[in-house]
Copies of this chain bind each other. A is one copy, B any other.
Amino acid sequence: MGASIKDVAKRAGVSVTSVSRVLNSEKYISQRILEKVNQAIEELNYSPSQIARSLKKQKTSTIGIIVPDLTNYFCSTILSSIEESASEYGYNLIVCNIAENLEKELKYLHAVQEMRVDGIIIMHQKVNQRILSFIESASMPILFSCVRSPLPGRFSVLINDYQAALDATEYLIGLGHRRIAFLGGDLGDVTAGYSRYQGYLDALHKSGIPLNHDFIKFGNYKLESGRVMMQEILEQGECPTVVFAASDDMAVGAMNCILDYGLSVPEDISVMGFDDSLIAKAVRPMLTTMQQPVRELGRISLEYLHTLIEDPDQPDCRDIYLPHRIMERASCRRL
């Protein structure tokens, strides 16, 4: 094995304390010791053990992050921006991809707890009883990012999904649409599933547009899911003039389905997405979508968690809502 602090001390002819001191660049170390220690470190190619340090200090500078699905563009972008801030604050990230598997999530939750991470970020919405009770009894701060906390009084940073979906739908109505299809996520998913659906519903209601249940489908946020739902709608007979999807991926899936049917977007059917992930600008026509402020969401999530770690008794301000915004591009036309 590699050299330990003891070896360095011996080699430098000083005490381990002195070595520790230079390692942590404390004050009150003589130039002489500093040099000798640094030389010994060099010669031994010494690398201090973060894990011994963690054990002693009861703090790991590590945070666990539970991601629903790494292959989802929105997730990996948020992850990337969380990572950026984490790196600035000196945290390392344990990434837990649960691939929509609650058992795996629970396993990971226990794993990061045993690793004594300083905090946990959860980007996943659906929970079961065991996960809930884990969250309740966890000893480290847990923050929900981009989803609403399943438990009241917990911390989360996200957009107001209900309002965003409502705004999006009203935007579409403002464009003259009345036959508006909705491609939702799982209703059990309170944030993106349920809230966005409610926003859609209420917008229609406010404008006195009757509900057409053939225009409402639920999927899993993925590309393929959007395609399948759109196909169902198309096969059903009556056509919407626009389809509003609860994720960009589903919107693109739907758009491709429309295109593959030989129809055009937005001439025949308009399409609106949600997220403004990179794919929105990668497709043609470019997707009109509801933007989530990805970089801010990530950055603020991390900063918030950081303050929670430093001072676990944060009194107020348990939820932080960031502004959403419509990105008008080419996939929605005025009727």
Contact = CB atoms under 8 A, between A and B. Distances in A.
Interface string A26-65: 0000000000000000000101111110110010101000
Contacts of A220: none
A223 B281 CA distance: 10
B60 A70 contact: no
Nearest to A277: B71
A77 to B, nearest CB: 5
A197 to B, nearest CB: 24
Interface string A276-315: 0011011110000000000000000000000000000000
Interface in A68-94: 69-71, 73, 76-77, 79-80, 83-84, 87, 92-94
Contacts of A49: 55, 114, 116
Q: How large is the interface on A (under 10, 10 to 19, 20 to 34, 35 or more residues)?
A: 35 or more
A130 interface: no
The 5 residue pairs across chains A and B that have the minimum distance between CB atoms:
A70-B80, A76-B76, A50-B114, A95-B95, A83-B97
Interface of A: 1-2, 45, 47-52, 54-55, 58, 60, 62, 69-71, 73, 76-77, 79-80, 83-84, 87, 92-97, 99, 104, 107-108, 110-116, 137, 139, 223, 252-253, 256, 259-260, 278-279, 281-284
